[in-house]
Amino acid sequence: MFVRTTYATGDPATLDEAVQALTTEGRQQLTGEPGFRGAGMFADRELGKLVTGTWWEDEAAMQASADRMGKVRAQVLSSFATTVTVDNWEAAVAARAESVPEGARFRLVRLDFAPSDADTLVDAFENGVLPRLRTMTGFLGGSLLVDRAAGRGAVGTLYADKDSLAASRSPVAALRGEATSRARATLRSLEEFEVVMVESPPPS
Q: How far is CA 166 from the centre of its chain?
A: 19
Q: What is the pLDDT of residues 25-59, one digit of tens each?
A: 998 999 899 999 999 999 999 999 999 999 999 99
Residue 189 has pLDDT above 90, yes or no: yes
Residue 84's pLDDT band (cuts 50, 70, 90):
very high
Does this model's pTM top 0.85? yes
Q: How far apart are CA 133 and CA 56, in angstroms?
A: 25
Residue 118 has pLDDT above 50, yes or no: yes
Q: Which of 68, 75, 91 is nearest to 148 (CA)?
A: 91
Question: 185 in the Ramachandran plot: left (φ > 0), alpha (ψ -120 to 50) or beta?
Answer: beta
Are 196 and 19 contacting, i.e. CB atoms less than 8 angstroms apart?
Answer: yes
Mean pLDDT of the chain: 95
3-class DSSP assignment, residue 144 = strand
**Cβ partners under 8 Å of residue 123, min gap 6:** none
- pLDDT tens for 142-173 read 999 999 999 999 999 999 999 999 999 999 99
End-to-end CA distance of the chain: 14
Residue pair 126/144 in contact by the 8 Å Cβ criterion: yes
Q: What angle do CA 174, 168, 105 make, to 5 degrees?
A: 130
